[in-house]
Structure 1
Amino acid sequence: MKRIKCLFILLCALGTSVLSNAQEHVWKTETSNGYTYKYVTNDPMQARFYTLKNGLSVILSPTNKEPRVQAFIAIKAGSKTDPSTNTGLAHYLEHLMFKGTDKYGALDYAKEKPELDKIDALYETFNKTKDEVKRKAIYHQIDSISGVASKYSIANEYDKMMTSIGAQGTNAFTSFEKTVYTDDVPGNSLDKYMAVQAERFRNPVFRIFHTELEAVYEEKNRSLDNDGARAFETMLANLFKNHNYGQQSTIGTIEDLKNPSLVEIRKYYDKYYVPNNMGLVLSGDFNPDEVIKKIDQDFSFLKNKEIVPYTFQPEQEITTPIVKEVTGPDAEKIMIGYRLPNNKSKDILIAGLVGQILSNGKAGLLDLNLVKKQKLLWASVSVMPLIDYGMFVVSAAPTSGQTLDEVKTLLFQEIDRLKAGNFDQELLTSIVNNMKKSEIMESEHYSSRADALMEAFSDELDWRDQVAGVEDISKITKQQVVDFANKYFANNYVAVLKKKGESPASAQIEKPAITPVETNADQQSSFVKMIDELPSTKVSPVFLDYDKDIQRSKIGKAEILYVPNKDNQLYRLRYRYKIGKNNDLKQDLAAKYLSFLGTDKKSSEDISKQFYEIASSFSIYTAEDFTLVTIEGLQENFDKAVKLYEDLILNAKPDEEALTALKARLSKSRADMKNNKGAILQGLTSYAMYGKDNKFNYNFSDEALNKVTSKELLESIKKLNSYDQTIMYYGPESLKKLTSTLKKLHPVPKKFATPIAPKVFFQKQTDKNEVLFADYEMVQAETQWTRTGGNYDPKMQPVVTVFNNYFGGGMGTVVIQTIRESKALAYSTYAMFVTPRKVEDKYFVTAYVGSQSDKFKDATNAMNELLNDFPQLPENLALAKTQTKKDIENERITQDNILFDYLGARDLGLKTDIRKEIYEQAGAVSFTNLNDFFKKNIAGKPYIYSVVASEKNLTEADLKKLGDYEKLSLTEIFGY
Structure 2
Amino acid sequence: MSLKRVVLVFLFACSLHTAEAQGKYQWKEATSGGYPYKYVSDDPMKARFYTLKNGLTVILSVNKKDPRIQTLIGTRAGSDNDPKDHTGLAHYLEHLLFKGTEKYGSLDWAKEKPLIDQISNLYDKYNKTVDPAARKAVYHEIDSVSGIAAKYAIANEYDKMMSGMGAQGTNAHTWVEETIYEEDIPSNAIDKYLTVQAERFRDPVFRLFHTELEAVYEEKNRGLDNDGRKVYETMLAALFPTHNYGQQSTIGTVEHLKNPNLKVIREFYNEFYVPNNMAIVMAGDFDPDYVIKSIDQKFSYMKAKPVKEYKPAPEAPIKSPVVKEVLGPDAESVDIAFRMPGALDTKSNLVLGVLSAILQNGKAGLMDLNINKQQKVLNASVSVLNLKDYSIFSLSGKAKQGQTLEEVKAILLGQLEILKKGDFDETLVKAIVNNSKLSELQGLESNNNRATALMDGFIKSRGKNWSYDVAYVDDMGTVTKKQIVDYANKFLNDNYAIIYKRKGEDKNIEKVEKPAITPVEVNREAQSSFLQQIAAMPATPVKPQWLDYEKDIQKTTVGNTDMMYVQNKDNGLFRLYYRFDMGTWNDKKLALAAQYLQYLSTDKYTSEQISKEFYNIACNFSVAATSENTTVTISGLQENFDKAVTLFEHVIANCKPNEEALTALKGRMQKARSDSKLNKGAIMKGVVNYAMYGAKNPFNNQLSEAELNSVSAAELTNILHELPTYKHTIIYWGPQPLATAAADVKKLHTLPASFKTAPDAIKFVKDNQDKNQVLFADYDMVQTEVNWLRNAGEYDPAKTGIVTLFNSYFGGGMGSVVFQTIRESKALAYSTYAFYAPPDKKNERYSVLAYVGSQADKMNDAIAGMNELLNDIPRADKLLETAKEGMKQDIETERITNDGIIFSYLAAQKLGLSTDIRKQVYESIDKMNFDEVKKFHDQNLAKKLYTYCIVASEKKISLDDLKKLGDVKKLTLEQIFGY
Specify if TM > 0.5.
Answer: yes
Give the aligned residue type for 2:394.
V
Match of 2:791 in 1: 788
Residues 13 and 466, structure 1, Cα contact 8 Å, conserved in 2: no
> Hey, what's the Cα distance between the residues in 1 that align with 2:6 and 2:712?
42
Residues 13 and 452, structure 2, Cα contact 8 Å, conserved in 1: no
The question of 1:971 aligning with 2:974 is answered yes
**How far did 1:971 drift?**
0.3
1:880-895 equivalence runs, <5 A: 880-895=883-898
Secondary structure of 1:387 counterpart = coil
> Hey, what's the Cα distance between the residues in 2 that align with 1:532 and 1:548?
37
> Hey, what's the Cα distance between the residues in 2 that align with 1:455 and 1:342?
13
Match of 1:839 in 2: 842
> Hey, what's the Cα distance between the residues in 2 that align with 1:44 and 1:333?
40
**How far did 1:349 drift?**
1.2
Residues 9 and 384, structure 2, Cα contact 8 Å, conserved in 1: no
> Hey, what's the Cα distance between the residues in 1 that align with 2:460 and 2:874?
45
Match of 2:61 in 1: 61
Match of 1:423 in 2: 424
1:428-827 equivalence runs, <5 A: 428-460=429-461, 461=463, 462-827=465-830
Residues 580 and 629, structure 2, Cα contact 8 Å, conserved in 1: yes
> Hey, what's the Cα distance between the residues in 2 that align with 1:961 and 1:474?
67
> Hey, what's the Cα distance between the residues in 1 that align with 2:836 and 2:521?
27
Residues 23 and 42, structure 1, Cα contact 8 Å, conserved in 2: no
> Hey, what's the Cα distance between the residues in 2 that align with 1:287 and 1:165?
19
> Hey, what's the Cα distance between the residues in 2 that align with 1:473 and 1:319?
30
1:45-444 equivalence runs, <5 A: 45-345=45-345, 346-444=347-445
> Hey, what's the Cα distance between the residues in 2 that align with 1:753 and 1:945?
44
> Hey, what's the Cα distance between the residues in 2 that align with 1:750 and 1:553?
18
Residues 13 and 469, structure 1, Cα contact 8 Å, conserved in 2: no
Residues 10 and 466, structure 1, Cα contact 8 Å, conserved in 2: no
Could you give the per-residue CA deviations for residues 385-427 of structure 1, whole angstroms, max 9, x where no partner exists? 2111111111111111110000010011100000000001121
> Hey, what's the Cα distance between the residues in 1 that align with 2:468 and 2:227?
37
Residues 683 and 696, structure 1, Cα contact 8 Å, conserved in 2: yes
> Hey, what's the Cα distance between the residues in 2 that align with 1:637 and 1:182?
38
Structure 2: unaligned runs, 5 residues or longer: none
1:365/1:9 CA distance change after superposition, 3 Å:
closer
**How far did 1:31 drift?**
1.1
Secondary structure of 2:388 counterpart = coil
How many residues are matched? 971
Could you give the per-residue CA deviations for residues 839-881 of structure 1, whole angstroms, max 9, x where no partner exists? 1211000000000000000000000000000111001111111
> Hey, what's the Cα distance between the residues in 2 that align with 1:318 and 1:22?
35
> Hey, what's the Cα distance between the residues in 1 that align with 2:324 and 2:176?
22
Secondary structure of 2:587 counterpart = coil
Could you give the per-residue CA deviations for residues 277-324 of structure 1, whole angstroms, max 9, x where no partner exists? 000000111111111100000000001000112122221111111111
The 10-residue stretch of structure 1 (372-381 or 2-11) with the greater mean CA deviation from structure 2: 2-11
The 10-residue stretch of structure 1 (83-92 or 878-887) with the greater mean CA deviation from structure 2: 878-887
> Hey, what's the Cα distance between the residues in 1 that align with 2:555 and 2:164?
39
Secondary structure of 2:3 counterpart = coil
> Hey, what's the Cα distance between the residues in 1 that align with 2:904 and 2:75?
38
1:858-897 equivalence runs, <5 A: 858-897=861-900
Secondary structure of 1:425 counterpart = coil
Residues 13 and 439, structure 1, Cα contact 8 Å, conserved in 2: no
Give the aligned residue type for 2:451.
A
Give the aligned residue type for 2:458.
F
Could you give the per-residue CA deviations for residues 458-482 of structure 1, whole angstroms, max 9, x where no partner exists? 1215110111111111101010000
The 10-residue stretch of structure 1 (695-704 or 296-305) with the greater mean CA deviation from structure 2: 695-704
**How far did 1:93 drift?**
0.3
Could you give the per-residue CA deviations for residues 230-277 of structure 1, whole angstroms, max 9, x where no partner exists? 011111001000100000011000000000000000000000000000
**How far did 1:78 drift?**
0.3
> Hey, what's the Cα distance between the residues in 2 that align with 1:591 and 1:32?
54
What TM-score results when the alignment is normalised by the length of structure 2? 0.98
Root mean square deviation, CA, Å: 1.2
Residues 332 and 503, structure 2, Cα contact 8 Å, conserved in 1: yes
Give the aligned residue type for 1:411.
L
> Hey, what's the Cα distance between the residues in 2 that align with 1:40 and 1:476?
22
Residues 25 and 467, structure 2, Cα contact 8 Å, conserved in 1: yes
> Hey, what's the Cα distance between the residues in 1 that align with 2:53 and 2:214?
40
The 10-residue stretch of structure 1 (597-606 or 926-935) with the greater mean CA deviation from structure 2: 926-935
Give the aligned residue type for 2:889.
K
Residues 339 and 389, structure 1, Cα contact 8 Å, conserved in 2: yes
> Hey, what's the Cα distance between the residues in 2 that align with 1:960 and 1:149?
38
> Hey, what's the Cα distance between the residues in 1 that align with 2:257 and 2:290?
44
Give the aligned residue type for 1:504.
K
> Hey, what's the Cα distance between the residues in 2 that align with 1:185 and 1:880?
15
Residues 649 and 750, structure 2, Cα contact 8 Å, conserved in 1: no
> Hey, what's the Cα distance between the residues in 2 that align with 1:318 and 1:505?
27
Residues 9 and 456, structure 1, Cα contact 8 Å, conserved in 2: no
**How far did 1:137 drift?**
1.0
**How far did 1:54 drift?**
0.3
Residues 510 and 854, structure 1, Cα contact 8 Å, conserved in 2: no
Could you give the per-residue CA deviations for residues 783-814 of structure 1, whole angstroms, max 9, x where no partner exists? 01010010100000110011011000011000
Residues 10 and 352, structure 1, Cα contact 8 Å, conserved in 2: no
Structure 1: unaligned runs, 5 residues or longer: none
Could you give the per-residue CA deviations for residues 499-537 of structure 1, whole angstroms, max 9, x where no partner exists? 111123312222111111100011100000001111111
Residues 522 and 875, structure 1, Cα contact 8 Å, conserved in 2: yes
Give the aligned residue type for 1:672.
D
Residues 385 and 391, structure 1, Cα contact 8 Å, conserved in 2: yes
Q: 2:855 aligns with which of 845, 852, 855?
A: 852
Residues 22 and 475, structure 2, Cα contact 8 Å, conserved in 1: no
Residues 276 and 305, structure 1, Cα contact 8 Å, conserved in 2: yes
Secondary structure of 2:927 counterpart = coil
Could you give the per-residue CA deviations for residues 343-373 of structure 1, whole angstroms, max 9, x where no partner exists? 1112111111111111111111111100000
Give the aligned residue type for 2:483.
Q
Give the aligned residue type for 2:646.
K
**How far did 1:714 drift?**
1.2
**How far did 1:23 drift?**
6.3
> Hey, what's the Cα distance between the residues in 2 that align with 1:337 and 1:643?
40
**How far did 1:13 drift?**
8.5
> Hey, what's the Cα distance between the residues in 2 that align with 1:10 and 1:168?
24
**How far did 1:44 drift?**
1.2
